[in-house]
Amino acid sequence: MSEQLFFLLGGADLEMQTIRDVLVRQGIPFADHHLRWDNALLSSYQEELQERKGGQTIYGIELREDILPPSCYRAVDHHNGLSSFPCALEQVLDILQLPMNRYEQLVSANDKAYIPGMLALGATSEEIATIRLADRKAQGVTEEEEHLAEKAIADNKEIVNGLIIVHALCSRFSPICDRLFPYHKLLVYTDSEWMYYGDDSTKVCELFSDDLLEGNLFYGGGEQGYVGIKQNVYDKNEILEMVDQIKNL
C-alpha cells in the first residue's frame, strides 16, 4: 500500500512534525518544503504533482488549493468547512491503518482543541507543558519571540467585558496564548493580523461573514475554537476597526 501513497506536508507545527515522523518510521514517501501556515499552498508542490500524478494517490496535508489538483489528489484538512473532520494526524493514521499512541493522542487533542482538548484526555500538567513547548518550537518560535510575548502581556494587555486583548510585538501568538491560559476569550493582534480564541468564536465568524466568503478568514475548533485573518490582507486602520468590532460584540 505504501508504494501507492505519496504525501505533501503543509505548514510547520507539532502535528505536521508528528505526521512527518510517522511517515519516516513507516517508510512512506513524502515531500516537505518546510512551509509555514501563511504560505502552505498546493502550488508549492507543482513539480511533485506533475511527476507523480500517474500512478500514486497524493495526499496534501493542510494545503490551500490555489491551483487545480489532479484527479489522484486527496486533501487532508480539518479547518474552515472541514472543521467537523478529524484532525490531520488522525486522518493520516487512519489512511495508514495505524493505531494512535499516547503522544499522538495528545498531539491530536492539542491541535483540535488546544489545552482544553488535552485536559479532556486527562493530561497531566507535565504532559501539557511538554506538548505546548514542542508545538511552539515546531512552529519556529524563538527565545526572542518568547520574551516579546512576555513584554506584550506586561505592557499591552487590556480587558474589556471579559475579553482579554493583547497588542502583540511579533506575529507569533502562541507564546501569548500559552502564558495567559486559562482564559474564556482572548484577542491577539498586530498591525497586520488578528486571532480570536475561546468562547463565542462562532459569533466572531458571523460578525465577519463577508470576509469569510472572500477567503480572508479562517477558523476551527468549534464554539470555543479560534478565528483569524490572513496576514497582510488588511491595513492597520482596518485591523483596528475589526478589533473594535470584536470588543463590542
pLDDT at 109: 95
Q: What are phi and psi of 213, to 5 degrees?
A: -65, -30
> What percentage of the chain reaches a pLDDT higher than 70?
97
**Number of H helices and number of E strands within the chain?**
10, 10
Query: Taking the C-alpha atoms of 87, 92, 93 and 94 in order, what is their torsion angle to the nearest 10 degrees?
Result: 90
Nine cell digits for residue 44: 508549492
Arithmetic mean of pLDDT, 112-127: 94
Nine cell digits for residue 196: 480570536
Query: Sorting pLDDT into bands at 50, 70 and 90, what band is 2?
Result: low
Residues 6+ away with beta carbon under 8 Å from 216: 229, 230, 233, 234
pLDDT at 225: 86
Query: Sorting pLDDT into bands at 50, 70 and 90, what band is 187?
Result: very high
Shortest CA distance to 117 belongs to which of 91, 90, 92?
A: 90
pLDDT at 141: 96
Q: DSSP assignment, residue 27?
A: T
Q: What is the pTM of this model?
A: 0.85
What is the Cα–Cα distance from 99 to 196, expressed in whole angstroms? 33
Average pLDDT, the chain: 93
Task: Please check the confidence at residue 246 and state whether its pLDDT lies above 60.
Answer: yes
Across 149-158, 202-211, 214-223, least confident range? 214-223
Across 55-64, 153-162, 181-190, least confident range? 55-64
CB–CB of 87/78 below 8 Å? yes
